[in-house]
Amino acid sequence: MKRLVKRLLKGLKRWLTEEPIKPEQPIPFDNSFEWLGQTFRHLLSDPVGGRYRSYAWGVLQGASLAKVLGYPRVSVFEFGVAGGSGLVSLERVAELVEQKTDVGIDVYGFDTGVGLPPPKDYRDLPYMWEKGDFSMDEAALRARVKRAQLKLGLIEHTVPEFLRTSFAPVAFVSIDVDLYSATKQALALLDADPAKLLPRVFCYFDDIMGYGYNDFTGERLAIHEFNAEHRMRKLSPIYGLKWFVPQEFFNDRWIEMLQIAHLFDHPAYGQLDHVHRRPFLDVGGNWRWQD
């Protein structure tokens, strides 16, 4: 008993003499990984916005790039809405990122509204998917969303129709339509005029890792064909991204499912975005950036 009391007293003494943990000092906005990491943690603390880490990181990166390049407003997309939990989270992420960047964000959700269409051939992975998978309760979903615009129908029809309208430049796209054919049709969004796209568009592909996925079917094949068919627009993995996200997310799977669409023909492609600048506190306690 005496030993237990002694240990408790020693622990209490250490606790009383230790300096209190200082709260993390907010970093002023700059398109640096330090700012992105700190803001990313803030987004994930939200019970709705934090459900989809890939959305939080992608939208944050897209809006930050837009801010640095002087775009006042951007668009973000989810292809494959189904029950709508992802779209609801994307809405909340957009709201939170607007507060952090002062860049307006429009949210769009594309879906057939009736589940997957039937696979056309082996490229659509018919041993994994069948007609009607991931159906939607449209009325229930419309009651949940606040700002997202739903575009319902076959993607081969809705994307060309959408491209003929006016919309803010595309900053982030999530593609979770499972089939090769539908992914090809969704990627047509990246064929838009440069004025409707950021020079680098952050993209998330949900079905490129795990059982059954390969370079000759599904989303991976669609990505390969997009690159083969475009000389000045290419999709590329973000090599080594795990080293730049906050350390606690180092082993998350979504990190390997993000890519960037590089638009080399975009007039703003060569503008500096300062993503590698590192903020630091000078001796006077003011934030400065390393060039």
- What's CA 73's distance to the chain center, in Å? 16
Tell me how far apart the alpha carbons of residues 262 and 240 are, in angstroms, rounded to a whole number. 17
Tell me how far apart the alpha carbons of residues 244 and 247 are, in angstroms, rounded to a whole number. 8
Tell me how far apart the alpha carbons of residues 10 and 69 are, in angstroms, rounded to a whole number. 56
Structural domain that includes position 154:
50-281
Radius of gyration of the chain (CA): 22
The answer as to whether 110 is a domain residue is yes
The answer as to whether 240 is a domain residue is yes
Tell me how far apart the alpha carbons of residues 207 and 80 are, in angstroms, rounded to a whole number. 11
- Whole-number pLDDT of residue 21: 42
The answer as to whether 25 is a domain residue is no
The answer as to whether 223 is a domain residue is yes
- Whole-number pLDDT of residue 204: 98
Mean pLDDT, all residues of the chain: 89
Q: How confident is the model at residue 3 (pLDDT cuts 50, 70, 90)?
A: low
| Structural contact between residues 290 and 277, judged by C-beta atoms closer than 8 angstroms | yes
- Whole-number pLDDT of residue 102: 96
pLDDT, one tens digit per residue, over 197-237 is 999 999 999 999 998 899 999 999 999 999 999 999 999 99
Which of residues 73 and 4 earns the better pLDDT score? 73
Which tokens belong to 233?
A: 């627009």
Specify the DSSP class assigned to residue 26.
Answer: P
The answer as to whether 218 is a domain residue is yes
The answer as to whether 96 is a domain residue is yes
The answer as to whether 33 is a domain residue is no
Asked which of 24-33, 212-221, 250-259 is least confident by mean pLDDT, the reply is 24-33
- Whole-number pLDDT of residue 22: 46
DSSP H stretches of helix in the chain: 2-17, 33-44, 53-69, 85-101, 138-144, 155-163, 180-186, 218-229
pLDDT at 38 over 80: yes
CATH code, 82? 3.40.50.150
Q: Of 103, 81, 91, which is closest to residue 150 (Cα–Cα)?
A: 81
Angle at 190 between CA 112 and CA 95, to 5 degrees: 70
Angle at 5 between CA 4 and CA 10, to 5 degrees: 100
pLDDT at 285 over 70: no
Number of domains comprising the chain: 1
The answer as to whether 84 is a domain residue is yes
- Whole-number pLDDT of residue 33: 81
pLDDT at 109 over 50: yes
Q: What is the pTM of this model?
A: 0.87
Q: How far is CA 245 from CA 54, 159, 194, 238, 258, in A?
A: 11, 32, 29, 12, 12
